[in-house]
């Protein structure tokens, strides 16, 4: 990754819908150079895809929480099975596999507190491998949509 690659990444994270021609203009390079750089970043796995950033509240999912989950027994099979099943739950936006006191962190978005309560009681607490969970409500979310290299 050089400075041009880093700038391509930054610009695409800001607006992935811009055309190659517009991206090349902002970078001050030929469109063919820009296109080849983007293709190379994609081949190398730096660019994994392009996604729409959807506001959960616009989908009537304005209540968000982070749910820390502990599972037992700690085995590859149990972890893989829970990871896949949690990712398939419509309430779950993200699944993080952790080291430390908790095994998973689920980012959940639902309509309201009643739906969150139902998710916790009817979906999570019914699972045999879960030995405990703790819920933290999200009041606001801010994220760095344009991470930069740390070297």
Do residue 30 and residue 60 come from a single domain?
Answer: no
* Number of domain units in the chain: 2
* Of the candidates 137, 133, 138, the residue with the CA atom closest to the CA atom of residue 121: 133
**pLDDT means over runs of 10, the chain (151 residues):** 92 92 97 97 94 89 97 95 96 96 97 98 94 96 71 62
Sign of CA dihedral 42, 44, 45, 46: negative
Residue 148 lies in a domain: no
* Statement to judge: residues 68 and 11 lie in one domain: no
What lies within 8 Å, CB to CB, of 83 at 6+ separation is 95, 97, 104
Res 51: pLDDT: 86
Q: Rounded distance, CA 36 to CA 56, Å?
A: 35
Are both 77 and 102 inside the same structural domain?
yes
Domain range enclosing 22: 3-43
DSSP class of residue 58 equals: G
Report pLDDT for 145: 66
On whether both 65 and 104 belong to a single domain, the answer is yes
Domain co-membership, 76 together with 115: yes
């Amino acid at each position: 990754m050089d400075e041009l690659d880093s700038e391509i990444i930054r610009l695409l994270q800001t607006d992935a819908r811009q055309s190659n021609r517009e991206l090349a203009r902002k970078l001050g390079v030929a469109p063919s150079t820009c296109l080849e750089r983007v293709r190379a970043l994609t081949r190398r796995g730096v660019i994994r895809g392009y996604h729409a950033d959807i506001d959960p509240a616009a989908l009537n999912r304005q209540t968000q929480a982070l749910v820390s989950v502990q599972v037992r027994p700690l085995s590859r099979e149990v972890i893989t099975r829970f990871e896949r099943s949690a990712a398939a739950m419509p309430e779950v936006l993200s699944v993080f596999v952790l080291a430390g006191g908790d095994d998973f962190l689920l980012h959940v978005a639902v309509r309201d507190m009643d739906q969150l309560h139902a998710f916790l009681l009817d979906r999570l607490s019914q699972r045999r491998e879960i030995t405990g969970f703790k819920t933290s409500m999200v009041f606001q979310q801010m994220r760095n949509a344009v991470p930069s290299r740390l070297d």
